[in-house]
Structure 1
Amino acid sequence: MATVLGLFAVNTARGEAIGAAAGARTPVGTYGKVRVCGTQLCSAAGKPVQLRGMSTHGTQWYPHCLVNRAMDAFAYDWKASVLRISTYAREGGYEKNPKKFTDLASQLVDRASARGMYVIVDWHTLNPGDPNADIANAKAFFKEIAKRHKRKSNVLYEIANEPNHVNWSTIKSYAEKVIPVIRALDRDSVILVPTPGWSTLGLADGSNEQAIVDDPVRATNIMYTFHFYAPKAGEPFLKALDRASSRLPVFVTEWGTTSWTGYGNDFPMSQRYTDLMKKKKIGWTNWSISDNAREFSVFNKGVCSGRTFAGTRVLKPAGAWVRNQIRG
């Protein structure tokens, strides 16, 4: 890890210079500080915008996929407008070394910011399904991230990843405890609230968005998250996203062309989703920036140990397909 962190430090000035040179041509330079207006994410001028980009995999496993050349590729070759940084609460992540993973997330925020991209700071809870199990660490993490980045205009906060086997009232209670920690330092950045059933608006556990519509989180400038993996998220999930996004501000912070296991691309269904999200200006980040053997890893296996990240030759079929969706 020391070598990887060194790479971040060595090129800081270069990254900041690139970002400054890009000026208003960058997404942040174009849209300014985004905010929620009605059911939409809007620019500083109040115009609905759609952010499209990528999610990292766990930063404890793939920091070598997030070096400067990789970030250049996403910003300038892929033309991504947003990067989601996934800091795992457990699984060898934050819980194991809070300072190390807070510093790494913070450095990645700076790295993306220098290139004019928006950033979603994701507290990647998964096991156990109740985010309250890690609420003390969540508060500490977001307090430090907000303290360091509260003056930036491009940071969004995703306060938990995929609650599961818990109901909406449990998630809402968690959100209303964590949001004030961020708001005490950063008063007006967008905060992303997870939804039941692995952030499927409840579809994966047999419910739907109605519980959220009937009893929304008591906070302003927030959105609700939706996740899908195309082969397993068929017509009912697509219709739920369409229906819910007309009643709630929704951001799709994680999705894949494959099953959640990482295999079996379904490009036709993925296209139906990306068409809907484009039509309704629903922002999204695709899973994931990594180079393992699974098909949802955008890079071919071993690419992140090399020096070339741009272009399509380094990409798996899913990576090339998603790159086209972002650019298009």
Structure 2
Amino acid sequence: MARLRIALALAATLALPGVLVGAAQAAPTPGLSTQAAAALPAGSPAAVNGQLKVCGVKLCNKYGKPIQLRGMSTHGIQWYSQCVKTASLDALAGDWKADVLRISMYIQEDGYETNPRKFTDMVHGYIEEATKRGLYALVDWHQLDPGDPNYNTSRAKTFFKEIAQRHKDKTNIIYDIANEPNNVSWAKVKSYAEQVIPVIRAEDSDSLVLVGTNGWSTFGHSDGKDPQDVVKNKVSASNVMYTFHFYAGDHGSDYLAVLSKLADQVPVFVTEFGTQKASGDGSNNFTQSQKYIDLMNAKKISWVNWNFSDDERSGAVFKPGTCSGSSFTGTSKLKPAGVWIRDRIRTADDFPTS
């Protein structure tokens, strides 16, 4: 469901200033300082909740209490790194009161495969910046085309081994090992997951791992498959959740029903959604979006919205040109979708500690 979104993004962003393409060596993340490992600030979401664990079908904090995380996804860091800098991250943590930053690193589409060293170092930097602000860092292996994640298995093993080695002592790391598998069976996705997860676990034995599901992370629903295929054949690993994506402009009551049923059967994390069409554009369907929000709140399903950039499409929260400046707080720089989603992130979960 994201093919059109990526095709449009490629066409729209190749000429943008600050786009990272084909560097011969690792480059520092624009707008962010290079520093040693950061500490979690007291009272921040990641400090309060600590190491995340799956308990039953819920996501639980270090106290064993079910919680819901809410936050934003970057756009592809190869295109919109200028939107992820000190001022914008300060706004996300302080003004938006987010809990989690999803770091969207594409594999193809001018991403990781073009320069693994550069993009791995960028992710290292973003993890430290999220940590410094007390956010969970959700590391998104944004495979998309080809849809079979097995195409990138060796790359994934190399990348996640290094990420896990460096950040294994942090309690705010979430590994998302396959963004949107598509046109591939669940059995093949499961096989991929059971090859990559042990690489992570060899370095980091307890952090949360997310597994994308077939059908563009809809448990096969977008591909006309039975979502129960995943329920009946779970990944053989501990502390794992399964991802679900939706775009309210295209995905109506049938998708909502799938999410509602599955959330009672397996642990689900909504790692990407939008209030518009799956292309990331078009008019906002806030009525349908609110139905999803209400369901996710009721069942404590954690979620991340697409996307924290100033892309011209309606799904990017900032107005075009915002990322070249330094003003990201309040609502004056936000598109309608940005105003709407910021308001819902700011009404955060009351994290239980006893």
TM-score normalised by the shorter chain: which range applies? over 0.9
Aligned partner of 2:323 among 304, 310, 322 = 304
Deviation readout 1:237-269 (Å, 9 max, x if unpaired) = 001100000000000000000101122210000
Indicate conservation of the 8 Å contact 1:85/1:108, yes or no: yes
Q: 1:6: how far off? A: 5.5
Task: Show the counterpart of 2:44.
Answer: 26
Task: Show the counterpart of 1:186.
Answer: 204
TM-score, normalisation: structure 1 = 0.95
Deviation readout 1:177-227 (Å, 9 max, x if unpaired) = 000010000001010011110001111011232001111110010000000
Indicate conservation of the 8 Å contact 1:4/1:64, yes or no: no
Hey, what's the Cα distance between the residues in 2 that align with 1:266 and 1:74?
23
Partner SS state of residue 197, structure 2: helix
Which amino acid is 1:5 matched to? T
Identify if the C-alpha distance between structure 1 residues 96 and 3 changes in structure 2 by more than 3 Å, giving closer, same or farther: closer
Indicate conservation of the 8 Å contact 2:99/2:135, yes or no: yes
Hey, what's the Cα distance between the residues in 2 that align with 1:28 and 1:293?
32
Within a 5 Å distance, the mapping from 1:284-323 to structure 2 comes to 284-323=303-342
Aligned partner of 1:152 among 149, 165, 170 = 170
Hey, what's the Cα distance between the residues in 2 that align with 1:175 and 1:228?
22
Task: Show the counterpart of 1:324.
Answer: 343
Task: Show the counterpart of 2:154.
Answer: 136
Task: Show the counterpart of 2:117.
Answer: 99
Task: Show the counterpart of 1:169.
Answer: 187
Larger mean CA deviation between 76-85 and 207-216 belongs to 207-216
Task: Show the counterpart of 2:217.
Answer: 199
Hey, what's the Cα distance between the residues in 1 that align with 2:283 and 2:151?
33
Indicate conservation of the 8 Å contact 2:100/2:135, yes or no: yes
Which amino acid is 2:312 matched to? A
Query: Is structure 2 residue 291 aligned with structure 1 residue 282?
Result: no
Task: Show the counterpart of 2:95.
Answer: 77
Hey, what's the Cα distance between the residues in 2 that align with 1:7 and 1:207?
44
Identify if the C-alpha distance between structure 1 residues 190 and 290 changes in structure 2 by more than 3 Å, giving closer, same or farther: same
Within a 5 Å distance, the mapping from 1:210-225 to structure 2 comes to 210-225=228-243
Q: 1:4: how far off? A: 6.2
Hey, what's the Cα distance between the residues in 1 that align with 2:67 and 2:234?
23
Task: Show the counterpart of 2:17.
Answer: none
Within a 5 Å distance, the mapping from 1:6-45 to structure 2 comes to 7-9=31-33, 12=35, 16=38, 22-23=41-42, 25-45=43-63
Hey, what's the Cα distance between the residues in 1 that align with 2:251 and 2:143?
21
Q: 1:5: how far off? A: 2.6
Partner SS state of residue 232, structure 1: coil
Hey, what's the Cα distance between the residues in 2 that align with 1:4 and 1:148?
17
Indicate conservation of the 8 Å contact 1:4/1:67, yes or no: no
Hey, what's the Cα distance between the residues in 1 that align with 2:134 and 2:312?
31
Partner SS state of residue 112, structure 2: coil
Task: Show the counterpart of 1:246.
Answer: 264
Task: Show the counterpart of 1:67.
Answer: 85
Q: 1:122: how far off? A: 0.5
Partner SS state of residue 286, structure 1: strand
Identify if the C-alpha distance between structure 1 residues 3 and 160 changes in structure 2 by more than 3 Å, giving closer, same or farther: closer
Q: 1:7: how far off? A: 2.9
Which amino acid is 1:228 matched to? F
Hey, what's the Cα distance between the residues in 1 that align with 2:115 and 2:27?
17
Which amino acid is 2:324 matched to? S
Identity of aligned residues (%): 52
Which amino acid is 1:249 matched to? P
Q: 1:292: how far off? A: 1.3
More helix by share: 1
Hey, what's the Cα distance between the residues in 2 that align with 1:240 and 1:277?
12
TM-score, normalisation: structure 2 = 0.88
Q: Which runs of 5+ in 1 are unaligned?
A: none
Indicate conservation of the 8 Å contact 1:155/1:189, yes or no: yes
Partner SS state of residue 289, structure 1: coil
Task: Show the counterpart of 1:51.
Answer: 69
Q: 1:64: how far off? A: 0.7
Partner SS state of residue 95, structure 1: helix
Partner SS state of residue 157, structure 1: strand
Q: CA RMSD in A?
A: 1.5
Task: Show the counterpart of 1:272.
Answer: 291
Hey, what's the Cα distance between the residues in 2 that align with 1:234 and 1:304?
32
